[in-house]
Structure 1
Amino acid sequence: CTKKSESVQYFDGLGRPIQSVAIKATPLGRDVVVPIEYDAKGRQAKSYLPVPQPGTANGAIYTNPLANAPSAGYGSEKIYAEKRYDDLFTTRVSQVVPAGTAWSQKPANMAYGTNAAGEVKKYEITTNWIEGRTDSGISFSASYAANQLMKTSVTDPDGNITTEFKNSKGQTILVRKNDGTQNVDTYYLYNEYGQL
Protein backbone atom coordinates (compact mmCIF):
# COMPACT_ATOMS: atom_id res chain seq x y z
CA CYS A 1 0.00 0.00 0.00
CA THR A 2 1.47 3.34 -1.07
CA LYS A 3 0.92 6.30 1.22
CA LYS A 4 1.20 9.89 0.10
CA SER A 5 0.67 13.30 1.63
CA GLU A 6 -0.96 16.08 -0.36
CA SER A 7 -1.71 19.64 0.61
CA VAL A 8 -3.01 22.72 -1.17
CA GLN A 9 -2.63 26.35 -0.21
CA TYR A 10 -4.92 29.11 -1.44
CA PHE A 11 -4.02 32.80 -1.79
CA ASP A 12 -6.10 35.94 -2.14
CA GLY A 13 -5.70 38.59 -4.86
CA LEU A 14 -2.94 40.28 -2.84
CA GLY A 15 -0.87 37.10 -2.70
CA ARG A 16 -1.63 36.41 0.97
CA PRO A 17 -2.37 32.83 2.06
CA ILE A 18 -6.03 32.43 3.08
CA GLN A 19 -6.42 28.67 3.52
CA SER A 20 -4.30 25.54 3.77
CA VAL A 21 -5.87 22.14 3.07
CA ALA A 22 -4.22 18.85 4.02
CA ILE A 23 -6.01 16.40 1.73
CA LYS A 24 -7.27 13.18 3.37
CA ALA A 25 -4.92 13.81 6.30
CA THR A 26 -6.95 12.14 9.06
CA PRO A 27 -6.98 8.35 9.63
CA LEU A 28 -10.54 8.33 8.22
CA GLY A 29 -9.41 10.10 5.02
CA ARG A 30 -10.89 13.50 5.85
CA ASP A 31 -9.40 16.87 4.96
CA VAL A 32 -7.83 19.10 7.61
CA VAL A 33 -8.14 22.84 6.97
CA VAL A 34 -6.32 25.80 8.51
CA PRO A 35 -8.15 29.05 7.69
CA ILE A 36 -6.17 32.32 7.71
CA GLU A 37 -7.86 35.65 8.39
CA TYR A 38 -6.67 39.24 8.17
CA ASP A 39 -7.92 42.35 9.93
CA ALA A 40 -9.01 45.58 8.24
CA LYS A 41 -5.36 46.71 8.03
CA GLY A 42 -4.21 43.52 6.32
CA ARG A 43 -2.49 41.98 9.36
CA GLN A 44 -2.89 38.34 10.34
CA ALA A 45 -4.60 38.88 13.66
CA LYS A 46 -5.89 35.33 14.23
CA SER A 47 -4.09 31.99 13.99
CA TYR A 48 -6.56 29.11 13.85
CA LEU A 49 -6.02 25.54 14.98
CA PRO A 50 -6.44 22.92 12.21
CA VAL A 51 -10.07 21.94 11.66
CA PRO A 52 -10.89 18.41 10.44
CA GLN A 53 -13.71 18.38 7.88
CA PRO A 54 -16.55 15.83 7.57
CA GLY A 55 -15.09 14.38 4.36
CA THR A 56 -12.74 15.33 1.55
CA ALA A 57 -13.06 17.88 -1.24
CA ASN A 58 -9.95 16.49 -2.98
CA GLY A 59 -8.11 19.81 -2.70
CA ALA A 60 -10.96 22.23 -3.36
CA ILE A 61 -11.25 25.34 -1.19
CA TYR A 62 -13.71 25.30 1.71
CA THR A 63 -16.05 28.27 1.88
CA ASN A 64 -16.76 27.81 5.61
CA PRO A 65 -14.15 25.49 7.15
CA LEU A 66 -14.98 26.65 10.69
CA ALA A 67 -18.52 25.26 10.49
CA ASN A 68 -17.23 21.78 11.34
CA ALA A 69 -15.19 22.91 14.37
CA PRO A 70 -17.82 22.06 17.04
CA SER A 71 -18.41 18.53 15.72
CA ALA A 72 -14.66 17.99 15.12
CA GLY A 73 -14.06 17.97 18.86
CA TYR A 74 -13.54 21.65 19.62
CA GLY A 75 -17.07 22.19 20.93
CA SER A 76 -17.48 25.85 21.85
CA GLU A 77 -13.77 26.41 22.58
CA LYS A 78 -11.98 29.46 21.20
CA ILE A 79 -9.89 27.78 18.49
CA TYR A 80 -7.60 30.65 17.54
CA ALA A 81 -4.74 32.61 19.03
CA GLU A 82 -5.05 36.34 18.56
CA LYS A 83 -2.52 39.13 18.08
CA ARG A 84 -3.59 42.60 19.19
CA TYR A 85 -1.64 45.40 17.60
CA ASP A 86 -0.38 48.71 18.92
CA ASP A 87 -2.58 51.68 17.97
CA LEU A 88 0.38 53.94 17.21
CA PHE A 89 2.77 51.50 15.49
CA THR A 90 0.40 49.42 13.39
CA THR A 91 2.72 46.44 12.82
CA ARG A 92 3.83 46.15 16.45
CA VAL A 93 2.11 43.49 18.57
CA SER A 94 0.99 44.68 22.01
CA GLN A 95 -0.76 41.52 23.22
CA VAL A 96 -0.99 37.84 22.27
CA VAL A 97 -4.10 35.97 23.42
CA PRO A 98 -3.69 32.17 23.30
CA ALA A 99 -6.17 29.69 21.87
CA GLY A 100 -8.59 28.08 24.28
CA THR A 101 -11.39 29.70 26.25
CA ALA A 102 -9.62 29.41 29.62
CA TRP A 103 -6.25 30.52 28.25
CA SER A 104 -7.77 33.54 26.53
CA GLN A 105 -8.08 35.09 30.00
CA LYS A 106 -4.26 34.94 30.35
CA PRO A 107 -2.72 36.94 27.50
CA ALA A 108 0.96 37.76 27.05
CA ASN A 109 1.58 41.51 27.01
CA MET A 110 4.34 43.37 25.17
CA ALA A 111 5.84 46.75 26.02
CA TYR A 112 8.36 48.76 24.04
CA GLY A 113 10.75 51.54 24.94
CA THR A 114 14.43 52.34 25.47
CA ASN A 115 16.89 51.69 28.26
CA ALA A 116 17.34 53.95 31.28
CA ALA A 117 20.78 55.22 32.29
CA GLY A 118 22.67 52.51 34.18
CA GLU A 119 20.05 49.83 33.43
CA VAL A 120 22.34 47.78 31.16
CA LYS A 121 26.06 47.18 31.69
CA LYS A 122 28.36 47.67 28.71
CA TYR A 123 30.79 44.79 28.32
CA GLU A 124 33.37 44.64 25.55
CA ILE A 125 35.60 41.94 24.15
CA THR A 126 39.29 42.78 24.02
CA THR A 127 41.46 40.85 21.56
CA ASN A 128 45.25 40.63 21.73
CA TRP A 129 47.82 38.58 19.85
CA ILE A 130 50.09 36.72 22.24
CA GLU A 131 52.77 34.35 21.00
CA GLY A 132 50.98 33.67 17.70
CA ARG A 133 47.54 33.05 19.16
CA THR A 134 44.46 35.12 19.84
CA ASP A 135 43.84 36.01 23.45
CA SER A 136 40.34 37.35 24.11
CA GLY A 137 39.02 38.84 27.30
CA ILE A 138 35.96 40.61 28.63
CA SER A 139 36.08 44.08 30.07
CA PHE A 140 33.42 46.22 31.72
CA SER A 141 33.72 49.77 30.50
CA ALA A 142 30.57 51.45 31.84
CA SER A 143 26.82 51.24 31.61
CA TYR A 144 24.88 52.29 28.55
CA ALA A 145 23.64 55.87 28.61
CA ALA A 146 19.88 56.41 28.50
CA ASN A 147 18.06 55.73 25.21
CA GLN A 148 20.95 53.84 23.58
CA LEU A 149 19.18 50.47 23.36
CA MET A 150 15.75 49.34 22.20
CA LYS A 151 13.86 47.60 25.00
CA THR A 152 11.13 45.01 24.48
CA SER A 153 9.38 43.46 27.48
CA VAL A 154 7.06 40.46 27.40
CA THR A 155 4.90 39.55 30.39
CA ASP A 156 3.81 35.92 30.14
CA PRO A 157 0.47 34.52 31.43
CA ASP A 158 2.06 33.78 34.83
CA GLY A 159 3.31 37.35 35.28
CA ASN A 160 6.98 36.57 34.57
CA ILE A 161 8.74 39.32 32.63
CA THR A 162 11.37 38.83 29.93
CA THR A 163 13.08 42.00 28.72
CA GLU A 164 15.34 42.12 25.69
CA PHE A 165 17.71 45.00 24.89
CA LYS A 166 19.06 45.47 21.35
CA ASN A 167 21.54 47.95 19.93
CA SER A 168 21.11 50.03 16.75
CA LYS A 169 22.55 47.14 14.67
CA GLY A 170 19.75 44.85 15.88
CA GLN A 171 22.15 42.78 17.99
CA THR A 172 20.80 41.44 21.28
CA ILE A 173 22.84 42.90 24.14
CA LEU A 174 20.93 41.60 27.16
CA VAL A 175 18.04 39.26 27.92
CA ARG A 176 16.72 39.79 31.42
CA LYS A 177 14.22 37.37 32.97
CA ASN A 178 12.36 38.22 36.15
CA ASP A 179 10.26 35.73 38.11
CA GLY A 180 8.80 38.39 40.40
CA THR A 181 11.63 38.27 42.92
CA GLN A 182 14.91 38.54 41.02
CA ASN A 183 16.51 39.30 37.66
CA VAL A 184 18.48 36.69 35.77
CA ASP A 185 20.63 38.39 33.11
CA THR A 186 22.24 36.91 30.01
CA TYR A 187 24.61 39.29 28.23
CA TYR A 188 25.63 38.80 24.59
CA LEU A 189 29.07 39.98 23.48
CA TYR A 190 30.30 40.53 19.92
CA ASN A 191 33.83 40.70 18.56
CA GLU A 192 35.16 43.31 16.14
CA TYR A 193 33.66 41.32 13.24
CA GLY A 194 30.17 41.37 14.73
CA GLN A 195 30.34 37.70 15.66
CA LEU A 196 28.63 36.52 18.84
Structure 2
Amino acid sequence: MKTILYLALLAPLLLWSQSIDQNYVLSRNYKQASATIIPNPSIQQAATSITYFDGLGRAIQQVSVDQSAEGKSIVVPMEYDVYGRMAIEYLPYASELGGGNYRPDALTEVLGYADYNGEPPYSEKLLESSPLNRVLKQSAPGESWAMGSGHEIRLDYQANSGSDNIIRYTASATWNAAHSIYDVSLSQGSYATGDLYKTVTKDENWTSGKNNTSEEYKDKEGRVVLKRTYNDSDPHDTYYVYDQFGNLSYVIPPESSSPTV
Protein backbone atom coordinates (compact mmCIF):
# COMPACT_ATOMS: atom_id res chain seq x y z
CA MET A 1 0.00 0.00 0.00
CA LYS A 2 2.83 2.39 0.76
CA THR A 3 4.38 1.86 -2.66
CA ILE A 4 1.05 2.49 -4.38
CA LEU A 5 0.52 5.66 -2.38
CA TYR A 6 3.93 7.06 -3.23
CA LEU A 7 3.43 6.36 -6.92
CA ALA A 8 0.04 8.02 -6.81
CA LEU A 9 1.55 11.15 -5.32
CA LEU A 10 4.43 11.27 -7.78
CA ALA A 11 2.38 10.63 -10.89
CA PRO A 12 0.65 14.04 -11.08
CA LEU A 13 3.98 15.83 -10.71
CA LEU A 14 5.24 14.29 -13.95
CA LEU A 15 2.25 15.63 -15.84
CA TRP A 16 3.45 19.21 -15.41
CA SER A 17 6.52 18.52 -17.60
CA GLN A 18 9.05 20.05 -15.24
CA SER A 19 12.66 19.26 -16.14
CA ILE A 20 13.78 15.98 -14.58
CA ASP A 21 17.49 16.90 -14.83
CA GLN A 22 17.09 19.96 -12.58
CA ASN A 23 16.59 20.31 -8.83
CA TYR A 24 13.18 21.83 -8.20
CA VAL A 25 10.39 22.40 -5.71
CA LEU A 26 6.79 22.26 -6.97
CA SER A 27 4.10 24.06 -5.01
CA ARG A 28 0.37 24.42 -5.54
CA ASN A 29 -2.07 26.95 -4.18
CA TYR A 30 -5.52 25.39 -4.51
CA LYS A 31 -8.36 27.68 -5.44
CA GLN A 32 -11.18 25.20 -4.86
CA ALA A 33 -12.00 23.10 -1.83
CA SER A 34 -11.89 19.34 -2.28
CA ALA A 35 -12.37 16.40 0.07
CA THR A 36 -9.82 14.36 -1.92
CA ILE A 37 -6.49 14.98 -3.61
CA ILE A 38 -6.87 16.47 -7.09
CA PRO A 39 -4.22 14.50 -9.02
CA ASN A 40 -3.89 16.84 -11.99
CA PRO A 41 -5.58 20.17 -11.19
CA SER A 42 -6.48 22.61 -13.92
CA ILE A 43 -5.41 26.25 -13.71
CA GLN A 44 -8.94 27.03 -12.48
CA GLN A 45 -8.49 24.58 -9.62
CA ALA A 46 -4.93 25.42 -8.54
CA ALA A 47 -2.02 27.77 -9.23
CA THR A 48 1.14 25.73 -9.76
CA SER A 49 4.65 27.14 -9.40
CA ILE A 50 8.02 25.44 -9.86
CA THR A 51 11.28 26.82 -8.48
CA TYR A 52 14.51 25.42 -9.91
CA PHE A 53 17.77 25.31 -7.93
CA ASP A 54 21.42 24.93 -8.86
CA GLY A 55 23.86 22.52 -7.25
CA LEU A 56 24.53 24.99 -4.42
CA GLY A 57 20.86 25.15 -3.47
CA ARG A 58 20.33 28.63 -4.92
CA ALA A 59 17.10 29.45 -6.73
CA ILE A 60 17.87 30.05 -10.41
CA GLN A 61 14.42 30.18 -12.02
CA GLN A 62 10.78 30.36 -11.01
CA VAL A 63 7.98 29.25 -13.33
CA SER A 64 4.32 30.03 -12.67
CA VAL A 65 2.73 27.39 -14.86
CA ASP A 66 0.24 28.72 -17.46
CA GLN A 67 -0.77 31.63 -15.21
CA SER A 68 -0.70 34.61 -17.57
CA ALA A 69 -3.94 36.07 -18.94
CA GLU A 70 -3.24 34.27 -22.23
CA GLY A 71 -2.48 30.98 -20.47
CA LYS A 72 1.29 31.30 -20.88
CA SER A 73 3.79 30.40 -18.18
CA ILE A 74 5.31 33.33 -16.30
CA VAL A 75 9.07 32.99 -15.83
CA VAL A 76 11.43 34.83 -13.46
CA PRO A 77 15.11 34.13 -14.19
CA MET A 78 17.72 34.60 -11.47
CA GLU A 79 21.42 35.35 -11.78
CA TYR A 80 24.39 35.54 -9.39
CA ASP A 81 27.73 37.33 -9.66
CA VAL A 82 31.13 35.67 -9.21
CA TYR A 83 30.78 36.06 -5.43
CA GLY A 84 27.42 34.29 -5.34
CA ARG A 85 25.43 37.49 -4.77
CA MET A 86 22.17 38.34 -6.51
CA ALA A 87 23.13 41.78 -7.76
CA ILE A 88 20.55 41.80 -10.59
CA GLU A 89 16.86 41.00 -10.15
CA TYR A 90 14.84 40.45 -13.33
CA LEU A 91 11.21 41.23 -14.04
CA PRO A 92 8.95 38.31 -15.00
CA TYR A 93 8.04 37.60 -18.59
CA ALA A 94 5.45 35.41 -20.33
CA SER A 95 7.16 32.51 -22.09
CA GLU A 96 5.96 31.24 -25.45
CA LEU A 97 6.77 27.76 -24.17
CA GLY A 98 3.92 26.55 -21.93
CA GLY A 99 4.15 24.16 -19.02
CA GLY A 100 6.66 24.03 -16.22
CA ASN A 101 9.86 23.15 -18.08
CA TYR A 102 13.14 24.81 -17.14
CA ARG A 103 14.05 27.52 -19.66
CA PRO A 104 17.82 27.39 -20.32
CA ASP A 105 17.60 30.60 -22.41
CA ALA A 106 15.50 32.55 -19.91
CA LEU A 107 18.02 35.40 -19.54
CA THR A 108 18.13 35.94 -23.30
CA GLU A 109 14.35 35.71 -23.52
CA VAL A 110 13.65 38.29 -20.81
CA LEU A 111 16.15 40.77 -22.29
CA GLY A 112 14.43 40.45 -25.66
CA TYR A 113 10.85 40.38 -24.34
CA ALA A 114 8.79 42.59 -26.65
CA ASP A 115 6.59 44.12 -23.94
CA TYR A 116 9.65 45.76 -22.33
CA ASN A 117 10.43 47.69 -25.55
CA GLY A 118 14.18 47.31 -25.19
CA GLU A 119 14.24 48.88 -21.72
CA PRO A 120 16.40 47.16 -19.07
CA PRO A 121 13.98 44.63 -17.46
CA TYR A 122 15.82 44.43 -14.16
CA SER A 123 16.89 46.27 -11.04
CA GLU A 124 20.57 46.29 -10.13
CA LYS A 125 22.62 46.66 -6.96
CA LEU A 126 26.19 47.88 -6.68
CA LEU A 127 27.58 46.06 -3.64
CA GLU A 128 30.67 46.99 -1.68
CA SER A 129 33.74 44.77 -1.92
CA SER A 130 33.54 43.36 1.58
CA PRO A 131 31.94 40.36 3.31
CA LEU A 132 29.21 42.72 4.56
CA ASN A 133 27.85 43.00 0.98
CA ARG A 134 26.24 46.33 1.75
CA VAL A 135 24.41 48.14 -1.06
CA LEU A 136 26.14 51.29 -2.33
CA LYS A 137 23.78 52.02 -5.23
CA GLN A 138 20.49 50.55 -6.35
CA SER A 139 18.73 51.08 -9.66
CA ALA A 140 15.22 50.28 -10.87
CA PRO A 141 13.95 48.76 -14.15
CA GLY A 142 13.78 51.06 -17.16
CA GLU A 143 16.31 53.22 -18.99
CA SER A 144 15.52 56.35 -16.97
CA TRP A 145 16.27 54.60 -13.68
CA ALA A 146 19.07 52.24 -14.76
CA MET A 147 22.53 52.10 -13.24
CA GLY A 148 24.54 55.03 -14.58
CA SER A 149 21.45 57.14 -15.30
CA GLY A 150 22.06 59.45 -12.34
CA HIS A 151 18.76 58.37 -10.80
CA GLU A 152 19.97 55.53 -8.62
CA ILE A 153 19.34 55.25 -4.89
CA ARG A 154 22.65 55.85 -3.12
CA LEU A 155 23.60 54.67 0.34
CA ASP A 156 26.47 55.76 2.56
CA TYR A 157 27.49 54.09 5.82
CA GLN A 158 28.97 56.21 8.59
CA ALA A 159 29.05 56.72 12.35
CA ASN A 160 27.37 59.55 14.20
CA SER A 161 29.26 62.71 15.06
CA GLY A 162 28.62 65.69 17.31
CA SER A 163 27.32 67.74 14.39
CA ASP A 164 24.39 65.34 14.00
CA ASN A 165 22.80 66.82 17.16
CA ILE A 166 21.04 63.66 18.29
CA ILE A 167 19.17 63.51 21.59
CA ARG A 168 19.72 60.35 23.60
CA TYR A 169 16.33 59.42 25.00
CA THR A 170 16.20 56.75 27.70
CA ALA A 171 13.07 55.09 29.06
CA SER A 172 13.00 53.53 32.51
CA ALA A 173 10.25 51.08 33.48
CA THR A 174 9.42 50.80 37.20
CA TRP A 175 6.92 48.30 38.59
CA ASN A 176 3.88 49.90 40.22
CA ALA A 177 2.57 47.23 42.57
CA ALA A 178 -0.51 49.24 43.50
CA HIS A 179 -1.79 49.29 39.93
CA SER A 180 0.01 46.14 38.69
CA ILE A 181 1.60 47.99 35.78
CA TYR A 182 4.95 49.44 34.84
CA ASP A 183 5.36 53.19 35.07
CA VAL A 184 7.67 54.43 32.33
CA SER A 185 9.68 57.62 32.71
CA LEU A 186 11.69 59.42 30.04
CA SER A 187 15.07 61.14 30.34
CA GLN A 188 17.42 62.88 27.92
CA GLY A 189 21.14 62.82 27.31
CA SER A 190 23.58 62.81 24.43
CA TYR A 191 25.54 60.31 22.35
CA ALA A 192 29.30 60.28 22.08
CA THR A 193 30.84 60.32 18.62
CA GLY A 194 30.81 56.83 17.14
CA ASP A 195 28.08 55.48 19.44
CA LEU A 196 25.62 54.97 16.57
CA TYR A 197 25.65 53.43 13.11
CA LYS A 198 24.48 55.98 10.55
CA THR A 199 23.04 55.13 7.14
CA VAL A 200 22.46 57.98 4.70
CA THR A 201 20.06 57.27 1.81
CA LYS A 202 19.85 59.58 -1.20
CA ASP A 203 16.79 58.91 -3.33
CA GLU A 204 16.42 58.91 -7.13
CA ASN A 205 15.84 62.69 -7.26
CA TRP A 206 18.85 63.71 -5.17
CA THR A 207 21.25 66.21 -6.74
CA SER A 208 23.11 67.86 -3.85
CA GLY A 209 22.75 68.86 -0.22
CA LYS A 210 20.27 67.39 2.23
CA ASN A 211 17.11 67.49 0.12
CA ASN A 212 15.85 64.06 -0.99
CA THR A 213 17.94 62.33 1.64
CA SER A 214 17.11 60.40 4.80
CA GLU A 215 19.24 59.24 7.70
CA GLU A 216 18.78 56.23 9.95
CA TYR A 217 20.67 55.75 13.19
CA LYS A 218 21.02 52.42 14.98
CA ASP A 219 22.57 51.61 18.34
CA LYS A 220 25.11 48.84 18.84
CA GLU A 221 22.29 46.37 19.46
CA GLY A 222 20.92 47.05 15.98
CA ARG A 223 17.86 48.97 17.17
CA VAL A 224 16.70 52.02 15.23
CA VAL A 225 16.83 55.05 17.54
CA LEU A 226 16.29 57.85 15.01
CA LYS A 227 14.95 58.33 11.49
CA ARG A 228 15.65 61.76 10.03
CA THR A 229 14.22 63.14 6.79
CA TYR A 230 14.70 66.55 5.20
CA ASN A 231 12.40 69.11 3.62
CA ASP A 232 14.17 72.16 2.19
CA SER A 233 17.19 71.09 4.26
CA ASP A 234 15.14 71.22 7.48
CA PRO A 235 15.42 67.99 9.51
CA HIS A 236 12.33 66.11 10.65
CA ASP A 237 13.16 63.59 13.36
CA THR A 238 11.31 60.54 14.59
CA TYR A 239 12.86 59.01 17.74
CA TYR A 240 12.40 55.46 18.98
CA VAL A 241 12.94 55.00 22.71
CA TYR A 242 13.55 51.68 24.47
CA ASP A 243 13.40 50.75 28.14
CA GLN A 244 15.98 48.72 30.07
CA PHE A 245 14.31 45.50 28.88
CA GLY A 246 14.67 46.41 25.21
CA ASN A 247 10.96 47.17 24.75
CA LEU A 248 9.96 50.01 22.44
CA SER A 249 8.34 52.39 24.92
CA TYR A 250 8.01 55.71 23.07
CA VAL A 251 7.83 56.94 19.51
CA ILE A 252 8.46 60.67 19.35
CA PRO A 253 7.31 62.12 16.00
CA PRO A 254 8.65 65.31 14.38
CA GLU A 255 7.67 68.59 16.00
CA SER A 256 6.18 66.76 18.97
CA SER A 257 6.53 68.52 22.30
CA SER A 258 5.66 65.37 24.23
CA PRO A 259 6.26 61.68 23.51
CA THR A 260 3.57 59.44 22.11
CA VAL A 261 3.43 55.99 23.71
* TM surpasses 0.5: yes
Cα distance change of structure 1 residues 89 and 152 upon mapping to structure 2, 3 Å threshold: farther
| Corresponding residue SS for 1:111 | strand
Aligned equivalents of 1:111, 1:31: Cα separation in 2: 40
1:161 aligns with 2:213: yes
For structure 2, the residue ranges without an aligned partner over 5 or more in a row are 1-41, 207-211, 249-261
1:62 equivalent in structure 2: 103
Runs of 4+ in 1 over 2 A off after TM superposition: 66-72, 87-90, 126-135
2:63 equivalent in structure 1: 21
Per-residue deviation at 1:55? 3.1
Per-residue deviation at 1:4? 1.8
Per-residue deviation at 1:129? 4.7
Aligned equivalents of 2:80, 2:158: Cα separation in 1: 27
Tell me which protein shows more helix as a share of its residues.
2
Instruction: Choose which of 39, 49, 73 in structure 2 pairs with 1:7.
Output: 49
Indicate conservation of the 8 Å contact 1:118/1:145, yes or no.
no
Aligned equivalents of 1:50, 1:180: Cα separation in 2: 38
RMSD: 1.8
Aligned equivalents of 1:185, 1:80: Cα separation in 2: 34
Task: Map 1:117-136; keep pairs closer than 5 Å.
Answer: 117=162, 119=164, 120-129=166-175, 131-132=178-179, 133-136=181-184
Deviates more, 1:128-137 or 1:73-82: 128-137
Indicate conservation of the 8 Å contact 2:157/2:200, yes or no.
yes
Aligned equivalents of 2:161, 2:113: Cα separation in 1: 53
2:6 equivalent in structure 1: none
1:31 aligns with 2:73: yes
Indicate conservation of the 8 Å contact 1:107/1:156, yes or no.
yes
1:178 equivalent in structure 2: 230
1:81 aligns with 2:123: yes
Cα distance change of structure 1 residues 175 and 107 upon mapping to structure 2, 3 Å threshold: same
1:107 equivalent in structure 2: 152
Instruction: Choose which of 247, 251, 260 in structure 2 pairs with 1:195.
Output: 247
Per-residue deviation at 1:137? 2.4
| Corresponding residue SS for 2:115 | helix
Indicate conservation of the 8 Å contact 2:52/2:59, yes or no.
yes
Per-residue deviation at 1:81? 0.2
Aligned equivalents of 1:71, 1:97: Cα separation in 2: 20
TM-score, normalized by length of structure 1?
Answer: 0.91
Of structures 1 and 2, the larger Rg is shown by 2
Cα distance change of structure 1 residues 170 and 151 upon mapping to structure 2, 3 Å threshold: same
For structure 1, the residue ranges without an aligned partner over 5 or more in a row are none
Per-residue deviation at 1:180? 4.0
Aligned equivalents of 2:133, 2:222: Cα separation in 1: 17
Aligned equivalents of 2:232, 2:89: Cα separation in 1: 30
Identity of paired residues, percent? 32
Aligned equivalents of 1:103, 1:36: Cα separation in 2: 20
1:150 aligns with 2:197: yes
Aligned equivalents of 1:129, 1:65: Cα separation in 2: 61
Aligned equivalents of 2:78, 2:219: Cα separation in 1: 34
Q: How many residues align?
A: 194
| Corresponding residue SS for 1:102 | helix
Q: Which has the higher contact order (CA 8 A, sep 6+)?
A: 1
Per-residue deviation at 1:71? 4.3
Q: Deviations over 1:85-110 (max 9, x none)?
A: 11345511111011111112210001
Aligned equivalents of 1:194, 1:179: Cα separation in 2: 31
| Corresponding residue SS for 1:109 | strand
